[in-house]
Amino acid sequence: MKASWSLAAAACLAAVAPASNAQPTPQECAKAKASADPSAPEALAGRVRCLLAGVEPSDNPIQRSRELLRPALQSGSAVAGFLMYAVYSADPAYTYIRNGNVDAAQYDRLAALPVSERGPQIEALDALALGMNKGNVSAAVAVAAYLMESSAPGNAVRLRNLLGRLQHAGVDTPQLQRYGLAAVQATTYGPTHASPKAFTDALNAAGSAVAASTAAAGGKPPCNDVQLSQTAAGDIAGAEYLPLTNQPLVNTYLLRGTWTEQWTFAACGTKVPAEVRFTADGWSGAAFKVTLRPAAAQAASAPASTSSNASR
* Spatial separation of the C-alpha atoms in residues 253 and 161, rounded to whole Å: 18
Query: Which ranges constitute the DSSP H helices of the chain?
Result: 7-16, 26-33, 41-53, 61-74, 78-90, 104-111, 119-133, 137-149, 155-168, 174-187, 196-218, 295-299
Q: At what angle do helices 119-133 and 78-90 cross, to 10 degrees?
A: 140
Per-residue confidence (pLDDT) for residue 152, from 0 to 100: 98
Mean pLDDT of all residues in 79-89: 96
Q: At what angle do helices 78-90 and 61-74 cross, to 10 degrees?
A: 160
Per-residue confidence (pLDDT) for residue 15, from 0 to 100: 56
Handedness of CA 107, 112, 117, 119 (dihedral sign): positive
Provide the β-strand partners of residue 288: 278, 308
Whether the pLDDT of residue 244 is over 60: the answer is: yes
pLDDT tens string 192-210: 999 999 999 999 999 999 9
Cis peptide before 248 (omega within 30 of 0): yes
* Spatial separation of the C-alpha atoms in residues 300 and 112, rounded to whole Å: 40
Mean pLDDT, the chain, rounded, equals 89
158 in Cβ contact with 180 (< 8 Å): no
pTM of the model: 0.88
Tell how far CA 244 is from the center of its chain: 15
pLDDT tens string 85-95: 999 999 999 99
In sequence order, the 6+-apart residues with CB closer than 8 A to the CB of 155 are: 147, 193, 195, 196, 252
Whether the pLDDT of residue 282 is over 70: the answer is: yes
